[in-house]
Structure 1
Amino acid sequence: MKVFYFTATGNSLDVAKRFGGEIYSIPNVLKGDQFHFEDEKIGLIFPCYGFAAPKIVREFIEKITLKSPYIFVIMTYGNKLAGGVNWFVRYAEENDIHVQYADGLLMIDNFLPFFNIEKQKMKKKYTEENLSRLLNDVNQKKRYIRNGSFTDSMLTKAIQYFYKRNPNFNTDKDFSVGNDCNQCGTCVKVCPRNNIKLDEHKPAYGGNCEFCLACINLCPQKAIRLKKESNPNARYLNENVTLKEIITANN
């Protein structure tokens, strides 16, 4: 089994490790020269962004060739999936990737503009119970696609239309770097886009931002901040994943 994942703060990597098999980082695959993969079972695990898939996952789907009788998708999310799962299954089909199983897994939401990490940690999300179900389903090669309501589908379409019409919404222009930055370079190492460089004083962003917020959540000094966020002191790294693993995954 081969499992492909994209992660910023560890949730999707944590899930990918639970499934086992050969684990591939999507950013690293895109930086390589091998784009055709075959196996008896292939998995795709990534977070929900804007009730759809992150841009880097879409680029992966457009570029990759996957050959397998059983392809499964797990979309991690922290609040609401809307029509994200169905949207992605259709998107994959358009790129000749045929999904047999697709579902979501509710986890801690690390989207700092909207959610307070500390409050998220206190919510009961039944992640372990639901993950056990997903593992069992895939182990038995169950065929299932999570269906959203008509309202969910329209919500996903509306959000995606908004992003398309507003390309400067949620970009690295929304970040600021404080004087407490000690130029450790962690932000450079965790960025899946290679979008950050260290200048003489602090990180400099290049405008090719995934808005995954890895640089903000994983900064040891909490020196990188959003202009608007619910709790500037709250940051998140999945407890089952190390910073070193995130660096290996994204750079």
Structure 2
Amino acid sequence: MKIFYFTATGNSLYVAKKIGGELYSIPQMIKEGKYEFEDDAIGFVFPCHGFGMAKIVSNFIKKSKFKADYFFSIMTYGGNAFSGLRHMELVAKESGIKFNYTNEILMVDNFLSAFKMEDEIINKNPEVIDEKLSEIIADITNRRNSLVKKGIVSNTLSKYGRGFADKISNNFAAKRFIVTDNCTSCKVCEKVCPANNIKVNNKPEFSHKCEVCLACIHHCPKNAIHLKSEKSKARFINQNVQLKEIIASNNQAN
């Protein structure tokens, strides 16, 4: 079994690790130019971005060829998932993928414009998360066939929400991030960026291909990067994932 994942602060990586199998980071596959894969089962684990998938996930799937007897997709989300999984189904269909199983799992949301991290961390019970994850793992192990369906209203909101997110994402960091004098030029932000959007000289400089994953903000050891509209200065990293794993997953520097 192969699992392809995209992660910023560790939730999707944690889920992928718990499911098991061979794990493949989507940013690393792009960096290595690998786009053809085959196995008995192939899965995707990704966070909800703008009611759908981040562009890096969507573009990777569109460019790739997959062959398997069983396909599954798991989406992590923190607020409302709407029809993010339907976005995955529609994009995957272009690559010849017909999913056997889809599911979603509520976890801590790292989007600082919409959520206060202190509240998110308190309100998202790790035991409840692991119970849901155990159900998903059992379903996949037993090769269950089941697709999440939300209805026309949810589908419409996701379609337009994702379209809006695509329009603003490229310049998001360049326009909305602030770097304080706490910055020590450690380059952690550069290393965890999955889009190769950050270069650090004295301070981080943001280009115009941001994925709005906020990995750079949450992993900064000095809390030196801020979102102009953030609801709190608290940060989140999944407690079951280490920084070196995020760097290994996302570092696209040559």
The equivalences for 1:99-110 within 5 A come to 99-110=99-110
Q: 1:34 to 1:149 in 2, by over 3 A?
A: same
TM-score between both structures, scaled by the size of structure 2: 0.94
Instruction: Indicate whether 1:194 and 2:186 are aligned.
Output: no
Determine the C-alpha separation between the residues in 1 that align with 2:185 and 2:168: 32
User: Segments of 4+ in structure 1 off by > 3 A?
Assistant: 163-172
Q: Specify the SS of the correspondent of 2:239.
A: coil
Aligned equivalents of 1:8, 1:167: Cα separation in 2: 15
Q: Which runs of 5+ in 1 are unaligned?
A: none
Q: Specify the alignment match of 1:83 in structure 2.
A: 83
Alignment counterpart, residue 177 of structure 2, candidates 175, 178, 181: 175
The 1:166/1:17 distance shift into structure 2, 3 A limit, reads closer
Aligned to 2:218: 217
Distance in 1 of aligned mates of 2:100 and 2:174: 36
Distance 1:161 1:208 in 2: 16
CA drift at 1:194: 1.1
1:136 CA drift (Å): 0.3
Closer, same or farther in 2 for the Cα pair 1:209/1:161, shift >3 Å? closer
**Is the contact between residue 163 and residue 169 of structure 1 (CA under 8 Å) also seen in structure 2?**
no
Q: Shift in Å at residue 124 of structure 1?
A: 4.2
2:154 pairs with 1:141: no
Please state whether the residue corresponding to 1:144 is helix, strand or coil. Answer: coil
Q: Percent identity?
A: 45
Check 1:210–1:129 CA distance in 2 against 1; reply closer, same or farther (3 A cut): same
Contact 1:38/1:67, CA 8 A, preserved across alignment:
yes
TM-score normalised by length of structure 1: 0.95
- Structure 2 partner of 1:208: 209
Kindly indicate whether residue 142 of structure 2 is the aligned counterpart of residue 154 of structure 1: no
Aligned residues: 249
Partner of 2:132: 130
- Quick check: 238-247 or 203-212, which moved more? 203-212
Higher mean C-alpha displacement, 85-94 vs 211-220? 85-94
Query: Higher mean Cα deviation, 41-50 or 158-167?
Result: 158-167
CA deviation after TM superposition for structure 1 residue 167, in Å = 5.9
Please give the per-residue CA displacement for 1:31-78, whole angstroms capped at 9, x wherever unaligned: 113211110111100000011001000011111111001011000001
What runs of 5+ residues in structure 2 fail to find an aligned partner? none
Matched, 1:229 2:230: yes
SS in 1 for 2:140: helix
Residues 164 and 221 from structure 1, CA distance in 2 versus in 1: closer, same or farther, beyond 3 angstroms?
A: closer
Aligned partner letter, 1:2: K
Query: Match for 2:121: what amino acid?
Result: K
Q: Which residue identity is paired with 1:101? A: Y
Amino acid across the alignment from 2:211: E
Is the 2:170–2:208 contact (alpha carbons within 8 Å) kept by the matching residues of 1? no
Counterpart position of 1:23: 23
Aligned residue in 1 for 2:120:
120
Deviations 1:91-141 (A, max 9, x none): 211221221111101101111111011101111452111101000000000
Change (3 A) 1:161 1:6: closer
Counterpart-to-counterpart distance in 2, 1:78 and 1:90: 22
Deviation at 1:239, TM superposition (A): 0.3
* One-letter amino acid of the structure 2 residue matched with residue 214 of structure 1: A
CA RMSD, Structure 1 to Structure 2 (Å): 1.4
1:191–1:215 contact (8 Å) kept in structure 2? yes
**CA distance in structure 2 between the partners assigned to 1:167 and 1:246 by the alignment:** 21
> Which whole-Å CA distance do the structure 2 matches of 1:203 and 1:165 have between them?
23
Aligned residues of 2:173 and 2:206 also touching (Cα < 8 A): no
